[in-house]
Amino acid sequence: MHTTDTKHRLDQQSYKKQYGFTLIEVMVALTIIAIALGALLNTSGTQASSAAYLKQKTLAHWVAANELTQIRISKEFPDIGDERGSTAMANKEWYWIRTTKKTADENARQVSFTMYADEEYEQNLTSLIGYITRGTQ
């Protein structure tokens, strides 16, 4: 009978090992989950930051395109040199430097807009280069 009791106890012990998790196994699983969730949160935060930057860069490019178009429709032939200015769009003030250069054609000028997010002209977002021709009247 002693053999049956021992066999019965061994069956109970093996039953516990097959269907339960030890504390160490649970802790290892929780650690793996915590690391994976941390990486996921970091990735989603980076994507949100990138999306905001791309939105800002896109709007800055639209401001530059609008400024270049404004010169064209006003039929202004800009003087050579640099000019600083700002334009409001999408509830934000956008700062720019317009650089006008001579070209080989005396009736054309290269106009580039360098766009900045700040008034100190330190955070460069984008640049746009276009050409303006002198209108014949």
Domain-located, residue 118: yes
Domain containing 57 equals 21-133
Domain-located, residue 31: yes
Coil, helix or strand at residue 71: helix
pLDDT tens profile 16-74:
555 677 888 889 999 999 888 888 888 777 777 788 889 999 999 999 999 999 999 99
Report whether 87 contacts 69 (CB < 8 A).
Answer: no
Residue 63, both tokens: 């401001």
Domain-located, residue 16: no
Domain-located, residue 1: no
Domain-located, residue 10: no
Coil, helix or strand at residue 81: strand
pTM of the predicted model as reported, rounded to 2 decimal places: 0.67
Over 60: is that where the pLDDT of 133 sits? yes
Residue 100, both tokens: 């006008």
Domain count across the chain: 1
Domain-located, residue 8: no
CATH number at residue 89: 3.30.1300.30
Predicted local distance difference test score (pLDDT) of residue 15: 53
Distance, CA of 78 to CA of 82 (rounded, Å): 10
